[in-house]
Structure 1
């Protein structure tokens, strides 16, 4: 069976490991489609990491409205579907996104079965045209993949009648996520690192880390690896609390180097804050950090 998977997530090298594993199935011919880069909403440009490419074909194609989650699309997708002639189109996007509508409609016109992915774990009614896009995708697919049970429940509440499979999207690769067996035992006054890797955004609750640091012994340090609009606020908070010399900010690193950063930490923190329009969907970095020891 020839499967066409479309996802902006494949710009990350570690996300490509899933493709390599899927391609190992003897009856699977896998073709992946991804853009040359993705503009994150924290201002960071994630360029395609060509890291895990064994066993499948990757097509890199332009994207219009790059960085816009709900309105981006692939202008060459119709040509790609005609040339690949897949037996199944797997769109790794939410059903209310325009890119999902584009892929499902293209597949439907060629009588190719298609499915979408859903990770929206809060019930929300979307304004036009996204409500209409969502309903079109519901009515023109027989299968949906949900990232967790909450997302599956949202699909049912919103009227999706097709089959739903809950499949956890994120795991840790033991080939790169493993403990540092040679790390020396800490002496009592050695630095104790509280770490975070990810986007520096308000919903991640990062001011709680600075606040907690101020009440901890002086040998405790906080290390933030990532980029985002909250950095200046965190720097200001650390200065006001007198712990600026105990806080370090590091730039974004390639996904395959994240485990190296995690292995330098003593505790990994992810104090995400649930909001009316957002809740942490999984917290992949927690699984990765635990595997790194």
Structure 2
């Protein structure tokens, strides 16, 4: 007889989350891991995280509010300002030692790369339940590979193959969206991949009762995320330059990353220095204020498996214009809450931005309300419920739609 989620509620679990990227890294996967650890700890579970050190030195353990975090020895990546990786021959022994100490009931890996791969192998060797979530596309590696595109294509194919080899050993495999699951079917040959939203706390970005946030004197277009090659923020800057002058659009770019200097130079060359603001990394409170003051959110990235920042902007009742690529089409009902644009086409993007910004305030507000209503199915608590059931033995079949 098949068990149900209610049958599987039992004692607290010891959960080991293996994360190749984790705060202080700034990206969607790192943020998801932090929220997952926080949520599971709040539910009474004993949560441990394995992640790389943000600096040099041997493995160490730190007690944090969200979990016990074990920082493995890591090395800098010469082509990135802060990202670090763990080398297999330096971490395998520490991983085995930590398994002896932690004695996890379940392991949840967040990628098939260095830490995730060897945690899977160790868990399988010990007969421990494994859940694997994929947050990455091979394109995410491009900024770290100073090689010709043909070589990057080879790396991409190898990465897909390795994903299939590693994640096929998991008891349940998930990824944030149906399109991402389909990509894993096609390229990594993983047959059962459960689409499961990363989830957000939508209420964090809504106006509280009686709250007002003063708007700017000019309309604001915003981008939030890593300033990385695959985000194609240069296309957005070009598009702002091509919008009609009478709209007087200002662009706010939130985040840090390897292409920031090039983007600043681009804005200055296009005469946009006084209309493009680069905030760098900001606090959660400051980010909430950006969302609530924004008239239009744009995501030009072409390798998004979900885009948590887009969901956050939508939960703040903001219209969106998104690249017609990977998982982003799931977040747009064309003409209702925004538009899709042809990837890397700044003319099309400029036209879609102008179309929305020419609408009346009432029509733009209706678009924003439509965005807000679409976010309801991405609630974090529902995501945590599903993962908790999977940790206790729930299967792909239990949750597949």
What is the TM-score when the length of structure 1 is the normalising length? 0.74
- Are the counterparts in 1 of residues 73 and 86 from structure 2 also a CA contact under 8 Å? no
Aligned to 1:86: 104
Higher mean displacement: 107-116 or 235-244: 235-244
Equivalent-residue separation in structure 1 for 2:296 and 2:273 (angstroms):
19
- Are the counterparts in 2 of residues 120 and 154 from structure 1 also a CA contact under 8 Å? no
What is the TM-score when the length of structure 2 is the normalising length? 0.56
Please say if 1:229 is aligned against 2:258: yes
Shift of 1:139: 4.8
Equivalent-residue separation in structure 2 for 1:19 and 1:250 (angstroms):
28
Equivalent-residue separation in structure 2 for 1:241 and 1:168 (angstroms):
38
Which one has the bigger helix percentage? 2
Aligned to 1:108: 124
Q: How does 1:1-293 map to 2 (within 5 A)?
A: 1-11=13-23, 15=32, 16-25=34-43, 28-37=45-54, 53=65, 57-65=67-75, 67=83, 74=91, 76-93=94-111, 95=112, 97-120=113-136, 133-134=162-163, 136-157=165-186, 158-160=188-190, 163-174=192-203, 176-179=204-207, 181-184=211-214, 190-214=217-241, 215-217=244-246, 219-255=248-284, 257-272=286-301, 274=302, 279-293=303-317
Structure 1: state its 5+ residue gaps: 40-49
Relative distance call for 1:207 and 1:216 in structure 2 (3 A) is farther
Shift of 1:137: 2.0
- Are the counterparts in 2 of residues 7 and 91 from structure 1 also a CA contact under 8 Å? yes
Equivalent-residue separation in structure 2 for 1:102 and 1:285 (angstroms):
30
Structure 2: state its 5+ residue gaps: 1-12, 25-29, 57-62, 77-82, 140-152, 318-401
Equivalent-residue separation in structure 1 for 2:162 and 2:99 (angstroms):
20
Relative distance call for 1:245 and 1:25 in structure 2 (3 A) is closer
3-state DSSP of counterpart to 2:189: coil
- Are the counterparts in 2 of residues 192 and 220 from structure 1 also a CA contact under 8 Å? yes
Equivalent-residue separation in structure 2 for 1:114 and 1:249 (angstroms):
41
Equivalent-residue separation in structure 2 for 1:201 and 1:6 (angstroms):
24
| Cα RMSD for the two superposed structures | 3.5
- Are the counterparts in 1 of residues 109 and 119 from structure 2 also a CA contact under 8 Å? yes
Equivalent-residue separation in structure 1 for 2:283 and 2:91 (angstroms):
25
